[in-house]
Chain A
Amino acid sequence: GNSVTQMEGPVTLSEEAFLTINCTYTATGYPSLFWYVQYPGEGLQLLLKATKADDKGSNKGFEATYRKETTSFHLEKGSVQVSDSAVYFCALMKTSYDKVIFGPGTSLSVIP
């Protein structure tokens, strides 16, 4: 079946460090891929998305590239801030009418 795997957290970084959160997926065809962010006590916000192979999604300094050959969608940011502390979920959706399948989430703490 379809599934999403993420690197286990928690991840702790110093401010201005480089961030990578690995995400790989299992699905047939070409699903759409997403990164969602959840700040403490809040719901989910869409961070970025990519709908086809080699697409790069980007937002607020975060980037992720849809790699079909490695079935990956790793999240990166060049310089993290304390305000980036949150839980990050990688997700996929097979078609526009399908449900979203979430990874387990990766908790990120950025310390000053």
Chain B
Amino acid sequence: GAVVSQHPSWVICKSGTSVKIECRSLDFQATTMFWYRQFPKQSLMLMATSNEGSKATYEQGVEKDKFLINHASLTLSTLTVTSAHPEDSSFYICSARVRGLAGVGEQYFGPGTRLTVT
């Protein structure tokens, strides 16, 4: 089946620094990738929708200057958390929509990245 990877799986960074998270579709091309944030024992909150070659669409309340999203190719999207603060600590999950799949545009999820800001 379709596989989505994320790197790193976990990261610890100091307050004020930036951290980049990669999301890759390993065996398919993804026209659209999604970035979610999940707080402990809570559901996923969609942060932004990323289409290859165009600017990401951010959900209301998500700071686009703080969470920079780049979707440079059909297999790679990156999320950069700039000037991270402890409140940015969370589990970040990406998903990718299969390109050209007829019918339901199924999404495949990555394993997630645990970010801890100290």
Contact = CB atoms under 8 A, between A and B. Distances in A.
Interface of A: 32, 36, 41-46, 49, 51, 89, 93, 95-97, 99-100, 102-105, 107
Q: How large is the interface on B (under 10, 10 to 19, 20 to 34, 35 or more residues)?
A: 20 to 34
Interface in B61-118: 93, 95, 103-112, 114
Chain B facing A: main interface SS: strand
Contacts of B103: 51, 96
A93 B104 contact: yes
Given A99-B34, A99-B49, A44 B44 contact: yes
Given A43-B111, A100-B95, 15 more contacts: A42-B112, A43-B4, A43-B112, A44-B44, A44-B109, A45-B109, A46-B106, A46-B108, A51-B103, A96-B105, A97-B105, A99-B46, A102-B44, A103-B43, A105-B41
